[in-house]
Structure 1
Amino acid sequence: MNRDDLIPIPFVFEEPCPIRDVLDRIGDQWSLLILEVLAHGTMRFSQLERAIGDISKQMLSKTLRRLEEDGFVRRTLYPQVPPRVEYQLTDLGRSFLVPMKNLIAWANANHGAIRDARGDYRARGADR
């Protein structure tokens, strides 16, 4: 097969590739969990921390900043004493819930098959 045999892509990706760029950001360990929790409504930092459970304050803060930077989450600071900060999904964040829930459903439905395939692979000694 040579280069001319390849199916042409109808568009050219600009740098960075949009698929990798988005998946690298939302595909980390915590982003989907935070988005799933915020799907239930506006929350304060401590509420998010309790809802997720095993996330450190530092990692929660870092992930919220990244989600805010990418437009998935809105951070609202209320100037009172003590200051109150709330987080909520933006329109972009809410629009992502549909494909996210589909991905979660697919992962749940296929997790057993994936684990079985991994076990078969190891049993064949293919992971040398």
Structure 2
Amino acid sequence: MSCENGKNDAENGSRAAECPVVYALRIIGQKWRLPVMWHLYQRKSARYSELKRSINGVTNMMLTKALRELEARGLIERRQYEAVPPRVEYSLTARGASLIPTLDELYKWGEEQMRIDGAQRVDSPARPHI
């Protein structure tokens, strides 16, 4: 596994072969995307207000942006129910759920780093069992 720098071709502006890690991080790397996905995994589906309450520090604007971007990438699904008042729920797609084993490993790695550094968890959701 090696990644060479993906550089733009000066002549036609096309992107040279990109490192898969860099490509993956462009999809999920924004600050609020992974917390949204983690919370949706824990709850199977959630309404906007539930996500807002459970993700510490996220603003309405940033949560909306993250949800739209994740939906555009096919990682989450937005389901609108015909009800009064209108109800919208978000859930992981199969593509989004395929990232969960990796997130679980990242969680374990983070726990180990916190032990090494003597850090304490702040408002951290429990790790679900896969």
> So what's the TM-score if we normalise by structure 2?
0.70
Deviation at 1:63, TM superposition (A): 0.3
1:88 alignment partner in structure 2: 91
Matches within 5 A, 1:81-120: 81-111=84-114, 113=116
* 2:46 aligned residue (43, 46, 53): 43
**Distance (Å, rounded) in 2 between the aligned partners of 1:55 and 1:108:** 22
Structure 1: state its 5+ residue gaps.
1-6, 117-128
Q: What is the distance in 1 between the residues matched to 2:87 and 2:100?
A: 26
Q: 1:1-128 maps to which residues of 2 (within 5 A)?
A: 15-40=17-42, 41-111=44-114, 113=116
- For 1:84, the aligned partner's letter is R
User: Identity across aligned pairs (percent)?
Assistant: 34
Larger Rg: 1
Residue 85 of structure 1: SS of its match in structure 2?
strand
Give the paired residue count: 107
Deviates more, 1:61-70 or 1:13-22: 13-22
Give secondary structure in 2 for the equivalent of 1:39: helix
Distance across 1 between alignment mates of 2:106 and 2:33: 14
Look up the equivalent residue of 1:18 and give its one-letter code.
Answer: P
Q: Note closer, same or farther for the CA distance 1:8–1:86 as it changes in structure 2 (3 Å cut).
A: closer
Choose between structure 1 and 2: higher helix proportion.
1
RMSD: 2.6
How far apart are residue 14 of structure 1 and its match?
5.6
